[in-house]
Amino acid sequence: MHRRLLCLVFSAVALFFLATTYHLAGEKLTRLAGPSFSHPKANAPVPSPSPKENPTETSDAKHTVESSEPESKKEKPAENTEKPAKQVEILSKKDLDTYLDVIFDRKNSESKLEDLRLACRPINETRYKELKEWKHAVDRRPWYFALNLYQVQELLPQLMGSIVRAARYLGTENSALSIVEGNSKDATVQILEAMREGLKAENMQYYFESSDLSPNAEGADRIDILAELRNMALKPLLQDHKHFSANSTAVFINDVAICPNDILELMWQRIKLGAVQTCAMDWNYHDGKHPVFYDVWVTRTMQGDSFFHIPKDGSWDDAWHMFPNDTVTGKRFSEWRPFQVYSCWNGATAFSALPLMEGVRFRKFAGNECVQGEPQLFGKDLWLRGYGRIAVVPTINLDYKIENARRIKKDRGYTEDLINDKDPNDDLIEWQTTPPEKTLCQVGWHNQFWQSWNLDYENKTASDW
């Protein structure tokens, strides 16, 4: 009798512990199913930033990731138990609608926010027809726009409006937009969040995320954080295998004033040239009067040099003397022809998703590598894997402010004017298959020296990755 009673008691206790364990394990698995935003590390060194990277402020503490894909077409995502970022209504509904009217080019929007817009030309439908007719698998989206944005309210009508127009031309059903925003204090978040409904109505997949990571925070590792933010913007491209593949093209755009033809030319030249990566040219009115090339810290020629010489005192007096030691590149630049480089970014870039699928990520410098920005390291990692077809397209000229963008279009020219009457076959590049032996390292203007391009990776070949 006692033995039977003891058996019953032990059985009840065992069942109790089993049920409790199952419940707790289930709770733990539910929590782990939520999205994680720590980017996967490439099995090789990973890249860094340039003088003005979008100071996208973001942190692991809170994020919001949502897609505007219609429910019927979406893969069911892992359950997200996190709350959306707190929305602060800075603009009135009327003012917000004005921004949206301009971004989506709605009826009677032509006269709205004129001071925040460029006089962009109509899309060159003949030239870019090949992009519009790009063949891809059913449900695939070959065009992926990625941005890191912070405090850019006044730039959004031009920047977002141009992306929407370019996507409409390409087919919004063929396009996706991924934005990582950094806790802006202006109406940036409000506008980007309000875009969701309009993009969903046009069947354009939209990933929007706010993060607290701040490259400008006290004690922050700026380059490491900028690399993290870029990887976050690319994460849907790498994880959504239903909609994206190695054949997709990523178009990463900084906080620049850009026109639809600028975007399409960047994409078209990547395809036409057979390039892995193409970059625009960004400018700055350094002396208030004349434009100088901006992204000089991360861009390197095929001789491993910067686009112009900056002495140890940091003077930009030589900024108007481009490519002083590279006559071949200088000639192509003066003729408005694309030219091969070791690395670039320059405000906007288009690159193949294939290297990303093979493990390339943005990263900071490591080991004995020179202190350098993540775009330059991105170029290095492409070369290490045998993807050295990197080119700058000098017909695409950008600036970071609307008023200066108007000036640069006047001083340097609109893309469509610069390509007019030019034979595209003359743009083709005789690609060098090996990088420069050494590249210029600029720890600071006062500390510049030459270093082996593949330092710490001398024994690696493309097949090793």
Whichever domain contains 100, its CATH number is: 3.90.550.10
In this structure, is residue 140 part of a structural domain? yes
Q: Write down the pLDDT at residue 28.
A: 28
Segment holding 208, helix H or strand E? strand 205-210
Q: Write down the pLDDT at residue 298.
A: 96
Q: Write down the pLDDT at residue 465.
A: 55
Q: How far apart are CA 276 and CA 390, in angstroms?
A: 6
Q: Quick one: how far is CA 90 from the chain centroid?
A: 27
Q: Write down the pLDDT at residue 464.
A: 65
Q: Which amino acid is at 208?
A: F
In this structure, is residue 82 part of a structural domain? no
3-state secondary structure of 328: helix
In this structure, is residue 17 part of a structural domain? no
Residues of the chain below pLDDT 50: 1-10, 13-85
In this structure, is residue 14 part of a structural domain? no
Q: Write down the pLDDT at residue 234.
A: 98
In this structure, is residue 339 part of a structural domain? yes
Q: Write down the pLDDT at residue 219.
A: 84
CA distances from 401 to 116, 126, 225, 323 (A): 9, 30, 24, 26
Interacting residues of 237 by C-beta distance below 8 A, sequence separation 6+? 144, 146, 176, 178, 244, 248, 250, 353, 356
pTM of this structure: 0.82
pLDDT tens digits, one per residue of 110-149: 889 999 999 999 999 999 999 999 888 788 999 999 999 9
188 in Cβ contact with 150 (< 8 Å): yes
In this structure, is residue 397 part of a structural domain? yes
In this structure, is residue 81 part of a structural domain? no
In this structure, is residue 85 part of a structural domain? no
Q: Write down the pLDDT at residue 460.
A: 67
Q: Write down the pLDDT at residue 40.
A: 31
State which residues form the domain around 221.
Answer: 44-70+91-464
Q: Write down the pLDDT at residue 29.
A: 28
Nearest CA to 124 out of 426, 415, 422, 428 is that of: 415
Q: Which residue has the tokens 């975007």?
A: 263
Q: Write down the pLDDT at residue 6.
A: 44
Tally of domains within the chain: 1
Q: Write down the pLDDT at residue 87.
A: 61
Q: Write down the pLDDT at residue 13.
A: 42
Q: Write down the pLDDT at residue 450.
A: 97
